């Protein structure tokens, strides 16, 4: 089980993690939450139903990593596509941010709930619902790190795999690869 998720009875998954891995995962999830931003809670005494109909932003985020998490729905090749994307964003981005925030919070909470299982680390057990939150958060973390590393769909970062240990990007590349392996094994545990 070390380093990869395995299915457990009841539709969940488990993975063995050491203390450093728990710390890294928690730190990355917290950084992701900071990147996504705080939730838009209704003001005290405000109608919560009215808050559901608040419009979101209409412009794409300036930060490339955030823009990768909240991409344009229709591209931006022409004015008409930009207008459609703007409208779509206005009515969907707040909900998407909320879901991504819930995924990140679920990761932090499950990691915080772990208790040490001896010196070798802990076994993280996820329910089926937790697995879905973790899949979302792992995907968002990989998208964010991949954007920062300028990984493209065409090369999937081939040059990054051969970085010397002295390169300051090396730890991010290692995190990117590790998160990908966790994500892949979690997906495999959920497949029938």
Residue 71 lies in a domain: no
SS3 string, the chain, reads CECCCEEECCCEEEEEECHHHHHHHHHHHHHHHHHHCCCCCCCCCCCHHHHHCCCCCCCCCCCHHHHHHCCCCCCCCCHHHHHHHHHHHHHHHHHHHHHHHHHHHHHHHHHHCCCCCCCCCEEEEECHHHHHHHHHHHHHHHHHHHHHCCCCCCCCCHHHHHCCCCCCCHHHHHHHHHHHHHHHHHHHHHCC
Q: Which residue has the tokens 């730890």?
A: 171
Residue 165 lies in a domain: yes
Q: What is the pTM of this model?
A: 0.86
Kindly report each contact of residues 141-146 with a partner whose C-beta sits within 8 Å and lies 24 or more positions away, as own/partner. 141/28, 141/29, 141/32, 141/179, 142/176, 142/179, 142/180, 142/183, 143/65, 143/68, 143/69, 144/32, 144/35, 144/65, 144/68, 144/69, 145/172, 145/175, 145/176, 145/179, 146/68, 146/176
Residue 128 lies in a domain: yes
From edge to edge, which strands make up the β-sheet containing 12-17? 6-8, 12-17, 122-126
Average pLDDT over residues 46-69: 76
Give the model's confidence band at 89: pLDDT under 50 very low, under 70 low, under 90 confident, else very high.
confident
pLDDT at 162: 83
Residue 44 lies in a domain: no
Residue 17 lies in a domain: yes
Give the model's confidence band at 45: pLDDT under 50 very low, under 70 low, under 90 confident, else very high.
low
Residue 60 lies in a domain: no
Residue 21 lies in a domain: yes
Q: Which residues are CB-neighbours of 69 under 8 A, at least 6 positions away?
A: 35, 36, 61, 100, 140, 143, 144
Residue 83 lies in a domain: no
At 97-155, the pLDDT tens digits run 999 999 999 999 999 998 654 456 799 999 999 999 999 999 999 999 999 998 876 65
Distance CA 68, CA 89 (A): 13
* Enclosing domain of residue 110: 6-39+97-190
pLDDT at 107: 97
Domain count, the chain: 1
């Amino acid at each position: 089980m070390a380093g990869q998720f395995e299915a457990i009875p009841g539709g969940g998954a488990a993975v063995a993690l050491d203390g450093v891995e728990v710390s890294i995962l928690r730190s990355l999830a917290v950084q992701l939450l900071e990147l996504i931003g705080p939730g838009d809670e209704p003001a005290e005494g405000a109608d919560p139903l009215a808050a559901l109909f608040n419009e979101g932003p209409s412009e794409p985020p300036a930060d490339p990593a955030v823009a990768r998490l909240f991409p344009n729905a229709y591209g931006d090749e022409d004015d008409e596509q930009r207008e459609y994307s703007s409208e779509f964003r206005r009515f969907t981005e707040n909900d998407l941010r909320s879901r991504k925030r819930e995924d990140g919070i679920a990761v932090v909470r499950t990691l915080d709930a772990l208790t040490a299982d001896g010196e070798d680390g802990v076994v993280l057990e996820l329910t089926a619902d937790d697995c879905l939150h973790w899949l979302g958060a792992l995907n968002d973390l990989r998208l964010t790190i991949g954007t920062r590393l300028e990984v493209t769909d065409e090369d999937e970062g081939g040059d990054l795999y051969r970085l010397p240990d002295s390169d300051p990007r090396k730890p991010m590349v290692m995190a990117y690869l590790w998160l990908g392996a966790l994500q892949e094994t979690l997906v495999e545990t959920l497949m029938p």
